[in-house]
Chain A
Amino acid sequence: MVLAALTSVLVAGLALGGAGAPGRPAQAAEVQAPSEAPAVALSSSWFCAGATVSNGGPAPGALVFTNAGSDRLTGSVRLVSHSGRQEDLNVAVPAGGTTTLQEQFPSAHGGPGAPWVGALVTLYGGTASVSQLVRAHEGVSSQPCASSAARNWYFVDGKTLRNATEEISLINPYPEVAIADLSFTTEYGQEQPVVFDGVVVPADGLTVLNLGSHLRRRTRIAVTVRVRSGQVAAFETELVTPPPPGAPLVGSNGGLNPASPIAGATLTLGSSEPSTSWWWPEGSDGVGLTESYIVYNPGGRAATMSVSLISQGAGGGLGGATELTVGPYATATLTTNGQPWALPGVAYAVHLVSTNGVPVVAERSLVGSSPSPERGLGVLLGQDKPGRSWLLPASPALAIKMAGAAAPPVALPAQALPLRVFGLVDQALAGLAASTMAAQPSGQLWLEALDRGPKAAVLVVGSIVRGRLVTLPGTRPVVVPAGEREGILLPVTASGRALVVSSSEAVLVEQDWYGYQPATGMSLSPAVLLG
């Protein structure tokens, strides 16, 4: 009896032990987005860089504080320049509103030369974000600031041409010096100039590196930033000035001194971690638009990628797929123009997945030139973390307003509206958007959403009024079918409010700005996930 009892207990225990996992189940490490706002918080910190002071330099910047909460928010800002100057400021953001702060030192110029500037922001509360606007002569760009520092940063694509400069800004929010090493992959292979080894980023300071100083005339540069001591946030600023009219683009010296044909300005927050899966809620093809997906493999194993297009209105069906192989420490580019599966005028979402499990970093690059009404450069890193609540970053229209560059109404190109609104289920909304554009004809502000899940998502774009989420005037709930994408044209007049996208299902959201003449430029930026 004893033996039977003990044996049965033993067998039961073993069976239970075999079935039961020992302790905590293994969980895949969740990659935190570089820019993610806490929904409820005592405080949140934001690190911004990549702009020059607003009263000087090639990329004048402004900070936009967005408070989606129901209480007034206070915060502190420490402006730091690459020359070591610091200035502490206080800021207050009204409930449901935004506050804009020009990045300039109140007392004097930021320093000699190009006065690159960064900001260390602490907001004493949650449901808020900080964005940075850059309004260069070449175009505008909006980008959320980083909400966390990291030890690794990756940038996929840049160039240092005759008319193109690329700067990497490293901002160190910690009270201790950080030391970073930068390595590059260019068309010449892997490069690691000594000058980019052991780059010192001062405590609470900013270091800006002009890649063109040692990587001259590179048409394609992928950057890896590894911080050997401390942590930083890294931004990439790319400025392409218009080439002189009639000048040869391939250079005057046998093609050794090329220039970029399209002017533009982009500000990009790097990716802090490679991933095996990247999504873009919006992709498009059209006359004058060149869209490409660039994949950077920062690891030592070759990555095999599959790129799939998810067409709109096809029940989530794939519009097409292709394979791509990216060698170790190499980049690869897939241009959608001319691809048989990329139908002109049909919007789609893009999914890029590593089929052999090698993580990569990927970005979408959009170049607009004549005859497209959208001109300039746009860059957007892929997204991978869906959510139900998003905070939209500052609208570039704000920057234009700030600069007093609000242009008089102009007639829209005939093809502009159908290109963006194609497939929109609610034609009334399309009409509303058209009327809105008539009021603010300098550009279009689009919200792009992708529902990866099995259930349709209902999206509401609104702002916080007296503690409640109120639908944004001129918009109404939009249904995003399961596995599909949807684009929503937003009224540009809403740029002074904190816009919150609330969804019934987890979706991916991005905000795109397309400016028209004379305010050219485009800005693709991810929305800020309210975690």
Chain B
Amino acid sequence: MGPELTAPGVVAVVVANGPTPWLDEALASLAGQDYPNLSVLVIDVGGDDAIADRVATMLPGAHLARMPAGTGFADAANKGLETVEQVAHVLICHDDVVLEPDAVQLLLEEAYRSNAGLTCPKFVMWDAPDRLASVGMGADRLGVVHQLVEPGELDQGQHDAAREVFVAPSGAVLVRTDLWRALGGFNPGAGRPGEDLDLCWRAQLAGARVVVAPQARARHLEARSKGLRCDGAGKALAKREDMSTLSEQHRLRTLWTCYSAQYLVLVVPVVLAFTFAESLWALSHRKAARDVLGPFAALVGSVRAPRSLWAARRRTQRLRRVSDRVMWKAQSRGSARLRILVRLRLERGHELAWAAARAAAVLEGRSTTDGAAGVAEPVKAKPPALAGAALARPARTNWRYTAATACAVVLALFIGSRNVLSQPLPLVGQLPFLGGGVGPWWHEWWSGLGPGGLGGSSFAPPGLLFMGLIGAVSFGSTNFALHVLVLGPLALGPLGIYFAAGRFGSQRGRLAATVVYAALPIPYNALAQGHWAGLIGYAASPWLLGGLCRLGGQAPYRFTHWDGAWARLISLGLLVALAASLAPAMLLLVPIIGLALLVGSLLTGRHQGGLRFLFASLIATAVAFVGLLPWSVGLLGSSAALSSSPSGPAHALSVSQLLRLQTGPFGGGALAWAVVAAAAVPLFIGRSWRMAWAARLWVVAFTCLSLAWAGSRGWFPMPQLELVLAPAGAALALAVAVGAAAVEVDLSGFRFGWRQFAPAFGALAVVAASLPFLSWVGGGQWGLPGTGAEASFAFPSGSPGGDYRVLWVGAAGSIPLAEQGTSGGVAFGTSLDGLPLASQLWAPEDAGNAQLVAQDLRWAEGNETTALGHLLASLAVRYVVVPVGGAATSEADLPVLSALARQVDLVPVGTDSSYRVFANASWVPLFSVIDGGAPSGAVPAQVPEPAWTAANKLQQLDLAAALQLPVGGSDGRSFSVAARPPSLQVYGAVPERSWRLRANGHVVAGTATLGGGTSWVLPVGTDDVALNRAGSFGQQVADVLLLLGWGVALAAAFHRLRARWGDQLTMASLELGPPSADVSEIDWSEVLDGQSVG
């Protein structure tokens, strides 16, 4: 005799609502059960004859019972089970439940092992089997049912222990036949939804146990809650409000039925109080009349049929084996309703929305790429109005709070910037400068970089185009444009955080994050030190981080397939491109942030979804790289060009300073720790996606802090510290928002203890983090000095005596232009005819003559020369300027200063104590005509020599005395040679082949000389000479291509967004329009309430 003959018989009773699309899969799962003695009874209540063929096809051995269309689930189950005999257990199933092959076997084993009356499996989501839907349910003392797991919670086996629960969802429940008969099945008056609560309560009153067997898994579509189930006429079943009222009515009937008289005396007043409270709440929130009256309607409805109610109560009380005191212990304490209310406000549009989005993706025929193991064939029927219905709905916010917070932040920023706003911006650090106006920005972008720098770039930086556009929008007002470019990030950053934190659902958290981000010292330190890249990073980081979070598709963000996310990817890529055009290091930072998000996901076990972060960041970076071509190619081989204005070892900070983001004058003191404290809250109280996001954000913060810590010590080339720390600041601010959500959602799940102080602690931390900000506001200019490099010296106009260079030397980040080279601990760069131009905010990709200057400075610092002016003369350096004190480094930290002071041909000039200016007594103009009749030693040698030898000779050359006939401006003009001795040569302090010389219309070949200059020997008889910069045509072609590329990308993204707006409008109209067979609104509250609808 085989084992199958000894197995107790089990009958699976499936109540089907016609030949629904998911029925085949449900029947197939029953057919695939490995339990040897399973019979199936399908009870059709849909009234569609086609079901017979479906059942016959999918489950040939099954029995089919037909009942009148519209028969309820409970009545159908009761009727069907009347026909079942000689089996110990029956399995009651919905038609949208798919059982794992071993589910029945495991259920039965657990039922026997636990001596359970009712045994239910673990329900996972239909399309995402790695996400939990239900592992049994609980109920409070008023019968309000709640899930024991969070919908969408990742199934990691954390709930896999068999245990007693109060309610077994009726989606699939194994019931002992004798118990079923004793109870009389479902209570005829209990109806649906709520029949499972009634059945389980009565079973426990009778002394039976209700157990969940999590090893048995079942996927549950919950078709009714998602509006997928229709009646025979094709109309969606049970509108939301009706379901809610019915649910309440059935719950109350269960209370009246199951409680003993003594306990009813206690419960009734509470029920009445809650009824009034719910009604008042709906009234105060201006709900519809049915919402206000609904609680009373349910109360009245619950006692509408007193006879049947009384009969049911008598039957139930006759079964009683357990006192209500014992029952209370099995029920949840507190009010599940209140918890649900809070959760409803938060979860709507988040986790369920995420789950719904995935479901929608499946139902729309798309494949889920991550976590697809065990996913069955998608349901063919498209659920109308499902996709995105709830996702489009933002978290509920009170606009008054938002407006008040925005006003406060803007007002504080305005007051704090009042002095800066009322005057031109000083030239401090790498802030863009007013000189020249908007026109030169366009000119340099179009025609390429001028000869001011020591090195060169093949193409002008696209950031100039952006600056030019801002200038154009400002109607040519450079002053206004500069204020927008410099001060705009102060407002853009908090705005970005406000939007990025929106998905976390807590308005308080969102506003707190905004305030915290506005109060971070990062932008103000950047401003005080003139670190424009830091400001760009501060403005861009929240948007970039938010974009990556959105594309990651992890709860609570909406899941979007790659093929539907390309518009977002391009948008994010363009945003990266825009930020990188102003701060090139962003091209490196974005993948690093993506990697950090992946690591954070791995830490919390979300490895599959975590890869999306990395991919999204890489794709966005690639898009940005393409968008910045061909300029971006030059960044590949030049770390200096990437970092532009790096922070050198002089800016190295301790860990405590970095954690407080104290990179400058702001951020010191104990209160600065408050940001870290506030951001740490979700790590202690967060659960589910809140914990996951807290981990991700903290990993981002730690990554950026670590980079800043290591890079600032010179371990690798490092951009401005504020730029690297900005993503850390954004991550911490977002963690604050997550913490607020955790306080509102998760805190109630903990017993009373230290965690209960988290709200007060978090609020205090946010307030404490904001207090220093208020003190900074008082200064009116964020530590920005009143004057900058523009006041250091009255540089003469270059043209009359010939163009000249100014060599800016100082601590990294203190010189008012991007560094073109370094020498020891100092950075340097050159500008033309005085102050730097806008284009010199970007470091050249080619170092050019920077190495010559670096060598010269090293010789000076090493006390190896006292004639540095002679050495620099060949590069047309007329002034050497060193920023000292204030935001720059003190004189004691700059050995180069004493080295410069030792030079006998450098004369200290200028009166600004913040800048030490030296005039080179030996300078020569950028282009000069050298008289061939000069002393032989004055004519530069044209044969390449070792650097030392060349420099030694150069020191003994008195170029200033030998030169005659200064050429004048370097803007490509022609000039005449007045004297015509037999031999003349034009000397240019520019690299060979970077300029072209025509003598009497003929091109003259230049020769490299003096290390970094070019010499052209003029033919005899030359009287007209023209100098032009080489290679501007390629620049202009690149400019046109860049414009075209950006135009196409923007148009495509705009087209896609426009289409999406159209979709959303259509969706909205569908929702607002009259219900039809294809449209039904999703009732998330049912799912949250734990009702097993479907």
Contact = CB atoms under 8 A, between A and B. Distances in A.
Contact of B955 (A42, A126, A231): A42
Interface string B682-723: 011000000100110011001001100100110000000000
B863 A41 contact: yes
B904 A174 contact: yes
Given A22-B653, A174-B907, A42 B603 contact: no
Contact of B698 (A6, A24, A44, A176): A6
Interface string B888-905: 000011000010011011
A2 B695 contact: yes
Dominant SS among interface residues on chain A: loop
Contact of B902 (A40, A148, A176, A230): A148
A408 interface: no
Contacts of B684: 3
Contact of B603 (A2, A14, A43, A122): A2
Contacts of B147: none
Among B651, B906, B952, chain A packs the most CB atoms within 10 A around the CB of B952
Contacts of A149: 901-902
Contacts of A3: 683-684
Given A173-B904, A230-B908, A122 B866 contact: yes
A43 B862 CA distance: 11
B656 interface: yes
A421 B955 CA distance: 47
A43 B951 CA distance: 10
A13 interface: yes
Contacts of A212: none
B493 to A, nearest CB: 24
B859 interface: yes
A340 interface: no
A42 B867 contact: yes
A41 B858 CA distance: 11
Given A38-B864, A174-B907, A29 B653 contact: no
Contact of A124 (B604, B859, B863, B952): B952
A531 interface: yes
A122 B904 contact: yes
A120 interface: yes
Contacts of A174: 904, 906-908
Nearest to A20: B654
A42 B859 contact: yes
B270 interface: no
A13 B904 contact: no
B750 interface: no
A207 to B, nearest CB: 17
A9 B705 CA distance: 11
B604 A2 contact: yes
A126 B655 CA distance: 44
Interface residues of B, number: 52
A29 B892 contact: yes
A18 B657 CA distance: 11
B863 A531 contact: yes
B604 A42 contact: no
A175 B906 CA distance: 8
Contact of B867 (A29, A45, A229): A45
B902 A16 contact: no
A45 B866 contact: yes
Contacts of B952: 42-43, 124-125
A381 to B, nearest CB: 20
A42 B956 CA distance: 10
A23 interface: yes
A470 B721 CA distance: 55
A231 B901 CA distance: 8
Contacts of A231: 901, 908
A230 B906 CA distance: 11
B754 interface: no
Given A6-B702, A42-B951, A120-B904, A14 B655 contact: yes
B652 interface: yes
B650 interface: yes
A393 B955 CA distance: 26
Contacts of B691: 2
A124 B866 contact: no
Contact of B864 (A24, A42, A74): A42
Contact of B865 (A2, A18, A42, A148): A42
Interface in A160-214: 173-176
Contacts of A244: none
A2 B956 contact: no
Given A13-B709, A42-B948, A176 B908 contact: yes
A22 B654 contact: yes
B655 A17 contact: yes
B955 A43 contact: yes
A9 B654 contact: no
A24 B907 CA distance: 30
A124 B864 contact: no
A231 B908 CA distance: 9
A17 B904 contact: no
A1 interface: yes
Contacts of B309: none
B689 to A, nearest CB: 13
Contact of A43 (B705, B825, B865, B901): B865
A497 to B, nearest CB: 25
Contacts of A36: 863
Contacts of A531: 863
A428 interface: no
Contact of B651 (A14, A20, A23, A44): A23
A38 B863 contact: yes
B921 interface: yes
A108 interface: no
B649 interface: yes
A124 B902 contact: no
A5 B603 contact: yes
Given A23-B653, A124-B955, A176-B907, A43 B866 contact: yes
A8 B899 CA distance: 46
Nearest to A14: B655
Interface string A6-40: 10011001101110101110000100100010101
Interface string B87-131: 000000000000000000000000000000000000000000000
A175 B865 CA distance: 17
Nearest to B871: A42
Contacts of A74: 956
Contacts of A175: 904-905, 907, 921
A22 B652 contact: yes
Contacts of A44: 863, 865-866
Contacts of A13: 655, 659, 705-706, 709
Contacts of A124: 952, 955-956
Contacts of B698: 2, 6
Contact of B683 (A2, A17, A40): A2
Nearest to A75: B956
Contacts of A6: 683, 695, 698-699, 702
B742 to A, nearest CB: 13
Contacts of A22: 652-654, 657
Contacts of B948: 42
27 contacts: A2-B694, A6-B699, A10-B659, A17-B658, A17-B709, A18-B655, A18-B656, A20-B655, A22-B654, A23-B649, A23-B652, A23-B712, A24-B649, A24-B652, A24-B825, A29-B892, A38-B863, A43-B864, A43-B865, A43-B952, A43-B955, A122-B867, A124-B955, A148-B902, A174-B908, A175-B905, A531-B863
Interface of A: 1-3, 5-6, 9-10, 13-14, 16-18, 20, 22-24, 29, 32, 36, 38, 40-45, 74, 120, 122, 124-126, 148-149, 173-176, 229-231, 531
Given A43-B952, A44-B865, 10 more contacts: A2-B694, A13-B655, A18-B654, A23-B650, A23-B712, A24-B893, A36-B863, A45-B866, A125-B952, A126-B864
The 7 closest A-B pairs by CB, nearest first: A17-B655, A23-B652, A45-B866, A41-B864, A2-B695, A176-B907, A22-B654
